[in-house]
Amino acid sequence: MKIAVFPGTFDPITLGHTDIIDRSLDMFDKIIVGIGVNSNKLPMFPIEQRINWIKNIYKEEKKIEVLSYSGLTVNFCESVKAQFIIRGLRTVSDFEYEKAISDMNQLLNPQIETIFLACTAKYSSFSSTMVRDVIRNNGDSSLFLPMEIHHPISMAQQEFQKK
Amino acid sequence: MKIAVFPGTFDPITLGHTDIIDRSLDMFDKIIVGIGVNSNKLPMFPIEQRINWIKNIYKEEKKIEVLSYSGLTVNFCESVKAQFIIRGLRTVSDFEYEKAISDMNQLLNPQIETIFLACTAKYSSFSSTMVRDVIRNNGDSSLFLPMEIHHPISMAQQEFQKK
Amino acid sequence: MKIAVFPGTFDPITLGHTDIIDRSLDMFDKIIVGIGVNSNKLPMFPIEQRINWIKNIYKEEKKIEVLSYSGLTVNFCESVKAQFIIRGLRTVSDFEYEKAISDMNQLLNPQIETIFLACTAKYSSFSSTMVRDVIRNNGDSSLFLPMEIHHPISMAQQEFQKK
Amino acid sequence: MKIAVFPGTFDPITLGHTDIIDRSLDMFDKIIVGIGVNSNKLPMFPIEQRINWIKNIYKEEKKIEVLSYSGLTVNFCESVKAQFIIRGLRTVSDFEYEKAISDMNQLLNPQIETIFLACTAKYSSFSSTMVRDVIRNNGDSSLFLPMEIHHPISMAQQEFQKK
Amino acid sequence: MKIAVFPGTFDPITLGHTDIIDRSLDMFDKIIVGIGVNSNKLPMFPIEQRINWIKNIYKEEKKIEVLSYSGLTVNFCESVKAQFIIRGLRTVSDFEYEKAISDMNQLLNPQIETIFLACTAKYSSFSSTMVRDVIRNNGDSSLFLPMEIHHPISMAQQEFQKK
Amino acid sequence: MKIAVFPGTFDPITLGHTDIIDRSLDMFDKIIVGIGVNSNKLPMFPIEQRINWIKNIYKEEKKIEVLSYSGLTVNFCESVKAQFIIRGLRTVSDFEYEKAISDMNQLLNPQIETIFLACTAKYSSFSSTMVRDVIRNNGDSSLFLPMEIHHPISMAQQEFQKK
């Protein structure tokens, strides 16, 4: 059984993320979307909300599981018996950063292989950072987000405007 | 009437910035230097000072206007009826970052076009971050700055040293 | 009057090229598509054909002119009284190459300014080299080409297959 | 059944190539090493030799098949019923080049997915071009090559020196 | 007498750093490892500990001296009469960042030359940031660290786990 | 005695090359400018001319020697007892190419160290390829060339125009 982890912060999940997940489905028997919890970084959306959004988007897809984790990604992979890590590559700076992490992970556990997909051209400039900026400033965030979360994000956006 | 916005933090404006402005003048009827105010980032110099410095540098140049703004750059462009955004490119990492923002802005408002100029070679390693570092540590910041602000910055520098 | 040259080999013109031309139209009074003739590089399509294809695509657009030239691009700009060169940027390696040429041109003639546009995300992996490869190997080149040349290229493709 | 093509020129196969193949084995049921034959590029080693070398290296590995092909890689994938293309990434310029090809292939056939692996750090500067340079100039090519071809390459090297 | 400064934060020193120091020894008569103290950045390990670790690693090497400094690196070089700055290059983004600093330093003091070495391939993905992440999360940090500090870091690691 | 090789084609030598040589002089006791002769690449200027031009530029500088060589650069270094190779870095693509060669050379002979200098900003877009293009097309090549070869190159340029 081929199990892969797709790690990230997903704050929030974008069309760039779902593109990578959808294109990876044929390759694996199970894909665990692993939401890394980092005590130093304050997220825009609470972890429960981020988990539920992804679960909702993939509610018909049996192969997808959503979990949160803290600590090293390789340790999380070991705990869920995943042999693969999936990462999307948008830019040259993504590539350099991801290559260094992939090298480090290979040293920490040579049994776990990192698989890269190049982001589809039209999504390759989407980042959660920019999407959060659009949300915060009341722009049209639906351009960048899966349909299933247009409504909840637009609700959140109204909350942000009131502050 | 061709109106362009040159957005940035200008904390402080450097010879790299004025090079881009000077070389863009022929292309547009009006250039609005837009100083983005970001509540999360504490600037070295107060916004009024940054506005006045740029106004002073271009006091003879009728085409230049200086304004501050908050929120999304495309929204600011709409409010001042600008159809163009000007950006300078120094490095590969600049290029990738700017390309992503330009893509996002094109999605948010396809009527607004981002125009890039490559920084003149001799200025292509100047950044406001480095200049602030030189100022903070009492180095010769005048190498990097327009003549008109040598004196005020050197005054500010003496203040920083006292702290 | 603002005149710009958009130089290239256009062997053949792709959707990536027309995207840059279309987005530049508002900025200039005239855009001269300059097809560089390089005695060392054997093109796939004869120069007359390349000129006619571009003229045909823009036959309704008064601002566009199509010319061939040999020698330095700055000299061609001088001869047609253009003050601007337009270039599209797809990738990091494009950027570095174009920046060096833009620097050199600025030394050769400081009156001529190079203006860059970032290629629209969905076209940013299109290159004439790859399109020629698709044509040569009988792939579906229409995915990458302006509608007006689908038919002539498909005719040419049949010729290539016979060889 | 998951079938992948690992396309390349393999002129000759290096430790960088075998690293990618070995690390991909767990992911697929069959890996077809596809040696692209390009009429414009004169190889250092004849196609039969390159095929035999790879077959010899993987003679114990049932999952590996070695074939030559000409034309577009996606067409070759279709003909061998492969749904995946495997590519190794060494450098930033590799990444940009491969991303463009992967985008083009996704347009030509959206059913075929390109999977990238980052080359193991110690092999990430190995290229067939450099290895050919070492062979041609009588350097110690065995540093870069799988053990199984040390002897045949060293034989070839003596031939090159005689010329 | 040729004196070089190897500046950095060394929080902690890694095998990537010692590789650069070891390979620079033949070139210079004295190498001063300069630990920059930055009031804005809270280090993982106190400055005394970082100094002692490096002194301990090079206790047999007469050419190495270890000092801390604050302020601009060129000023530190002047104070210790160093004509050279040594920097290691791992990645493209390292290169761009270091090139800009090297340019700025050349403007501030043209007598001081920055010398770059490319990190040895197998260490080129090691960064102190990642190593700190491994330490914090109780991974096997000894893979990335000089032997002499395996024990003290492992002690520190146990402390971090208790928190 | 510290001996370094500065390898290249120098077809012709530019201000970018002399900048690197001049800045390296303090570091070494002897610098051998090594002109690589490559049977596959037809140069613009004959090897004797390229040697004489460099000798002439550095006729007052006792530390500089000029030699031609063929084969691997490390072998040339061994034959002239050089422990160092000097290379200038202009761009990101330079860096990646040079890093790969530096890695390969370190494998072939670990005693030979490659030292990089970042090209001075104002020369960082100069390349022999572009300079040859300017010469061929009768542009003002003196902008890019050491004073000592302005006259001979301008003579050569007149010859090229006659063809």
Contacts of D93 in chain F (CB under 8 A): 93, 96
Q: Which residues of D touch C91 (CB under 8 A)?
A: 96, 100
Counting as contact any 3 or more CB pairs under 8 A, the partners of F are B, C, D, E
How far does the CA of residue D91 sit from the closest CA of chain C (Å)?
12
- A104 CB near a chain E CB, below 8 Å? yes
Which band of pLDDT confidence, cut at 50, 70 and 90, is reported for residue D157?
confident
Q: Which residue among F17, F24, F87, F141 is the active-site one?
A: F17
Q: What is the structure's pLDDT at E4? A: 98
Residue of A nearest to E133 (CA): A72
Cα D86 to the center of its chain, rounded Å: 10
Residue D16 tokens read as: 């960088």
Residue A121 to chain C, least CA–CA distance (Å) = 5
CB pairs under 8 A between B and E: 34
**Looking at the predicted structure, is the pLDDT value of residue E29 above 90?**
yes
> Rounded CA gap, B74 and B113, in Å?
10
**Gap from A133 CA to chain B (nearest CA, Å):** 8
Q: pLDDT tens-digit profile of B109-147?
A: 999 999 999 999 889 888 999 999 999 998 999 999 999
Whether residues A26 and D113 touch (CB distance < 8 A) is answered with yes
CB of A1 within 8 Å of a chain E CB? The answer is: no
* Spatial contact of D27 and D83, defined as CB atoms under 8 Å apart: no
* All partners of chain A with 3 or more CB pairs under 8 angstroms: B, C, D, E
**Domains with residue ranges and CATH for chain A:** 3-123 (3.40.50.620)
Identify which of F26, F92, F116 has the shortest CB distance to residue E118: F116
Report pLDDT for E162: 76
> In which band, very low, low, confident or very high, does the pLDDT at C115 lie, cut at 50, 70 and 90?
very high
Query: Of residues C24, C50, C87, C128, which has the active-site annotation?
Result: C128
Strands (E), C13-157: 30-36, 64-69, 84-89, 113-118
Taking CB atoms and an 8 Å limit, are E134 and A100 in contact across chains?
no
In DSSP terms, B89 is beta-bridged to B118
Q: Determine whether the interchain pair C122/A125 forms a contact, defined as Cβ–Cβ distance below 8 Å.
A: no
Mark yes or no for CB contact A27/D115 under 8 Å. Answer: yes
B135 contacts B44 by C-beta, under 8 angstroms: yes
Query: What residues in chain F have per-residue pLDDT under 70?
Result: 163
| Chain A contact present for E127, CB below 8 A | yes
Nearest chain A residue to E141 by CA distance is: A108
Which residues of F fall within a CB distance of 8 Å from B92?
92
Instruction: Considering only the beta carbons, identify the residue of A90, A125, A138 that sits closest to B104.
Output: A125
> By the CB < 8 Å criterion, does B129 face chain E?
no
CA distances from D69 to A128, D74, E117, F54, F65 (A): 42, 11, 41, 48, 50
Provide the annotated active-site residues of D.
17, 41, 90, 128
According to the model, what pLDDT value does residue F85 have? 98
Q: pLDDT grade, residue B160 (50/70/90)? A: confident
- Tell me the pLDDT band of E37, cut-offs 50, 70 and 90: very high
Are B101 and B77 within 8 A, CB to CB? no
| pLDDT tens track for A60-94 | 999 999 999 999 999 999 999 999 999 999 999 99
Q: Alpha helices of chain B — where are they, by DSSP H?
A: 15-24, 47-57, 73-79, 92-108, 128-136, 150-162
Confidence at residue A163, expressed as pLDDT on a 0 to 100 scale: 67
Question: DSSP for C121-139?
Answer: GGGTT--HHHHHHHHHTT-
- Is B50 a residue whose pLDDT tops 80? yes
Contact D118 A96 (CB under 8 A): no
Show the tokens assigned to B100: 């992503």
Query: Between chains, do F92 and E89 touch, taking CB under 8 Å as contact?
Result: no
Q: Count CB-CB contacts under 10 A for residue A126.
A: 25
pLDDT at residue A31 greater than cutoff 80: yes
Minimal Cα–Cα distance from D2 to chain A, Å?
Answer: 8
Structure confidence at residue D40 (pLDDT) = 75
For residue A90, the Cα-to-chain-centroid distance in whole angstroms is 13
Query: How confident is the model over A90-113, as pLDDT tens digits?
Result: 999 999 999 999 999 999 999 999
ipTM computed for the complex: 0.93
* Angle ∠(C139,C142,C148) on CA atoms, nearest 5: 145
D113 and A2 within 8 Å at the Cβ level: the answer is: no
Identify the band that residue D141 occupies on the pLDDT scale cut at 50, 70 and 90: very high
Question: In this model, does residue E15 exceed pLDDT 80?
Answer: yes
The pTM assigned to this predicted structure is 0.95
- Residue A99 and residue D118: Cβ atoms within 8 Å? yes
A chain contacts of residue B101, beta-carbon cutoff 8 Å: 125, 130
A148 in contact with D, Cβ within 8 Å: no
Which is it for the CA torsion D148, D149, D155, D157, positive or negative?
negative
Per the rule left: phi > 0, alpha: psi between -120 and 50, beta: everything else, E71 is left
Can you count the helices (H) and strands (E) in chain F?
A: 6, 5
To the query of whether residue A17 is one of the catalytic residues in this protein, the response is: yes
- pLDDT for residue A42 is more than 80: yes
To the nearest whole Å, the CA of A119 is away from the closest chain E CA by 21
Note whether D124 contacts E: Cβ–Cβ < 8 A: yes
The nearest CA of chain A is from the CA of E150 a distance in Å of 16
Among residues C41, C62, C162, C163, which one is catalytic?
Answer: C41
The residue of D124, D130, D144 whose CB has the most chain E CBs within 10 angstroms, and thus the best one to mutate to test that interface, is D124
Q: Which residues of A touch C93 (CB under 8 A)?
A: none
Contacts of C73 in chain F (CB under 8 A): none
Chain B residues in contact with C122 (beta carbon < 8 A)? none
Task: Looking at the complex, report in whole angstroms how far the Cα of residue E88 sits from the nearest Cα belonging to chain F.
Answer: 10
Residues 6+ apart with CB under 8 A from F111: F83
CA distance, residue E126 to nearest chain D CA (Å): 10
Q: What is the mean pLDDT of residues C91-116?
A: 95
Which residues of E are marked as active site?
17, 41, 90, 128
Question: pLDDT tier at E67 (50, 70, 90 boundaries)?
Answer: very high
Residues of B in contact with C2 (CB under 8 A): 27
| Predicted local confidence at residue D163, as pLDDT | 67
What local confidence, expressed as pLDDT, does residue F125 receive?
86
Chain A hits for C92, CB-CB cut-off 8 Å, are 92
Choose the catalytic residue: C17, C24, C50, C141: C17
**pLDDT score for F22:** 97
Mutate to test the interface with E, among D122, D126, D130, D143 (most CBs of E within 10 A): D122
F70 is catalytic: no
- Residue appearing with tokens 């590559």: A89
Are E100 and B127 within 8 A, CB to CB? yes
- Residue A14 reports pLDDT greater than 90: yes
Give C114: exposed, middle or buried? Use CB within 10 Å, 0-12, 13-18, 19+.
buried
**What CA–CA distance (Å, rounded) separates A145 from A138?**
14
C27 touches chain F (CB under 8 A): no
Which parts of chain A fold into alpha helices (H)? 15-24, 47-57, 73-79, 92-108, 128-136, 150-162
pLDDT at residue number F160: 76
pLDDT mean across residues, chain D = 94
Any chain C CB within 8 A of the CB of F161? no
D residues 55-74 closer than 8 Å to C (CB): 71-72, 74
Measured between alpha carbons, how far is E74 from D78 in angstroms, rounded to an integer?
60
Residue B158: predicted pLDDT: 84
pLDDT band per the 50, 70, 90 thresholds, residue D117:
very high
Q: Report the pLDDT value the prediction gives residue C41, as an integer from 0 to 100.
A: 78
Report the share of chain E in percent with pLDDT over 70: 99
pLDDT digits (tens, 9 = 90+) for E107-132: 999 999 999 999 998 998 889 999 99
pLDDT at res. F41: 78
